[in-house]
């Protein structure tokens, strides 16, 4: 698997590298491993150089975040297949072979996600990706194995190989040529939702996204921005709106976005009632930021964007009103 490049985006992550890099090196012997460093101020680079000289270092000159950090770093990576992996991922033995075989046997597949379990409880699926992602008509993401905050136990129910809508950025496999053809991640996003946006753009160009349950990794989660951080709330809500504006079909786009804005408002009220005013104000700020940024996307051609992008109509209603907590309970449209 010399065609594989494993690229770890790092910013002040020495402690995570000390914990998880040994597994990556041990179980990825035939791949080339890169550390893409976003101008860390700790001694991450010297730690890797001293202890793992086989790891190649790419130095970015600023903390560019996830999107631009990878875009800049991958200009220096030429391998055919890319694995973009978080520094808080523990890989398992033979994790690469099933992915490699899937790419090699199906040329229409451009992006793949492995099974992602929770490092803190390895019997559970992990929030960021679980067993592959989908969205509803309003762009709310959910996963096989994870609907909002409800995580399923891994009972081998998702050991399959199947098409999905989006793959998690925590462990994201993509053909290098596909990444280039799609012009990489949207750097306006900085972080959060950029992998869903990329997968949606791939979908609109008939590039297939797959889940491979024969490969397993374990994710800590929240190592960059904890769920309690209002900045994470801001980025998720703002980027979700930008993603809708970019990728929805032109007909009916504004009606869909208006409905999503209303749902966001209800979410803000709910957060206020939970005594989380900072998160409520983060949603308000995200809306104003969205209005200020849509001019950047005025020139995008939406004419070929597909209307059959969603798995179900309203995941919010299904979960909060109909009390459907697992993927198999969700009605596919």
Q: CA gyration radius for the chain? A: 19
Start-to-end C-alpha separation, the chain? 39
Is 321 within a domain?
A: no
Determine the pLDDT at residue 223: 52
Do 194 and 292 reside in the same domain of the chain?
no
Determine the pLDDT at residue 222: 65
Provide the pLDDT confidence category of residue 311 given band limits of 50, 70 and 90: very high
> Is pLDDT at 315 greater than 80 in this prediction?
yes
Q: What's the number of domains the chain is made of?
A: 2
Is 325 within a domain?
A: no
Determine the pLDDT at residue 221: 85
Read off the pLDDT of each residue in 182-186 and give the average, rounded to a whole number. Answer: 98
Of 23-37, 199-213, 225-239, where does mean pLDDT reach its minimum?
225-239
End residue of a domain, out of 174, 189, 219: 219
Provide the pLDDT confidence category of residue 227 given band limits of 50, 70 and 90: low
Determine the pLDDT at residue 2: 81
> Is pLDDT at 228 greater than 70 in this prediction?
yes
d(CA 67, CA 63): 11
Is 274 within a domain?
A: yes
> Is pLDDT at 46 greater than 70 in this prediction?
yes
Determine the pLDDT at residue 333: 87
Do 168 and 295 reside in the same domain of the chain?
no
Is 332 within a domain?
A: no
> Is pLDDT at 214 greater than 70 in this prediction?
yes
Of 304, 138, 74, 113, nearest in space to 209 by CA: 113
Read off the pLDDT of each residue in 276-288 and give the average, rounded to a whole number. Answer: 97
Is 245 within a domain?
A: yes
Do 153 and 8 reside in the same domain of the chain?
yes
Of 175, 172, 180, nearest in space to 83 by CA: 172
Is 153 within a domain?
A: yes
The range of the structural domain enclosing residue 247 comes to: 230-303
Do 162 and 215 reside in the same domain of the chain?
yes
Do 40 and 174 reside in the same domain of the chain?
yes
> Is pLDDT at 1 greater than 60 in this prediction?
yes
> Is pLDDT at 174 greater than 70 in this prediction?
yes
Mean pLDDT taken over the chain? 96
Provide the pLDDT confidence category of residue 226 given band limits of 50, 70 and 90: low
Three-class secondary structure of residue 157 per DSSP: coil
Q: What is the CATH number of the domain that holds 89?
A: 3.90.550.10
Determine the pLDDT at residue 54: 97
End residue of a domain, out of 219, 248, 282: 219
Of 114, 67, 110, 112, nearest in space to 205 by CA: 110
Highest mean pLDDT among 69-78, 214-223, 301-310: 69-78
Do 187 and 214 reside in the same domain of the chain?
yes
């Amino acid at each position: 698997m010399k065609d594989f490049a494993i690229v770890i985006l790092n910013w002040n992550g020495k402690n995570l590298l000390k914990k998880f890099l040994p597994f990556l090196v041990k179980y990825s012997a035939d791949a080339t491993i890169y550390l893409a460093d976003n101008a860390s101020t700790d001694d991450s680079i010297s730690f890797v150089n001293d202890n793992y000289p086989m790891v190649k270092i790419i130095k970015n000159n600023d903390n560019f975040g996830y999107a631009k950090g990878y875009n800049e770093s991958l200009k220096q990576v030429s391998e055919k297949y890319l694995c973009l992996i978080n520094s808080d991922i523990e890989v398992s033995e033979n994790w690469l072979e099933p992915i490699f075989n899937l790419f090699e046997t199906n040329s229409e597949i451009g992006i793949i996600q492995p099974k992602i379990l929770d490092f803190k409880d390895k019997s559970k699926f992990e929030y960021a990706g679980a067993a592959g992602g989908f969205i509803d008509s309003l762009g709310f993401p959910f996963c096989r194995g994870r609907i909002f905050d409800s995580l399923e136990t891994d009972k081998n129910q998702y050991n399959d190989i199947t098409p999905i809508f989006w793959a998690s950025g925590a462990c994201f496999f993509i053909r290098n040529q596909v990444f280039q053809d799609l012009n990489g991640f949207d750097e306006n996003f900085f972080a959060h939702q950029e992998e869903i946006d990329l997968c949606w753009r791939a979908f609109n160009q008939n590039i297939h996204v797959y889940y491979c349950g024969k490969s397993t990794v374990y994710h800590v989660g929240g190592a960059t921005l904890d769920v309690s951080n209002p900045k994470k709330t801001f980025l998720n809500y703002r980027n979700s709106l930008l993603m809708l504006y970019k990728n929805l079909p032109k007909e009916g786009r504004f009606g869909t976005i208006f409905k999503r804005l209303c749902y966001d408002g209800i979410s803000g009220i709910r957060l206020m009632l939970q005594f989380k005013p900072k998160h409520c104000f983060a949603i308000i700020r995200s809306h104003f930021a969205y209005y200020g940024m849509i001019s950047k996307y005025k020139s995008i051609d939406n004419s070929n964007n597909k209307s059959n992008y969603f798995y179900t109509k309203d995941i919010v209603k299904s979960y909060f009103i109909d009390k459907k907590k697992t993927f198999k309970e969700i009605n596919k449209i």
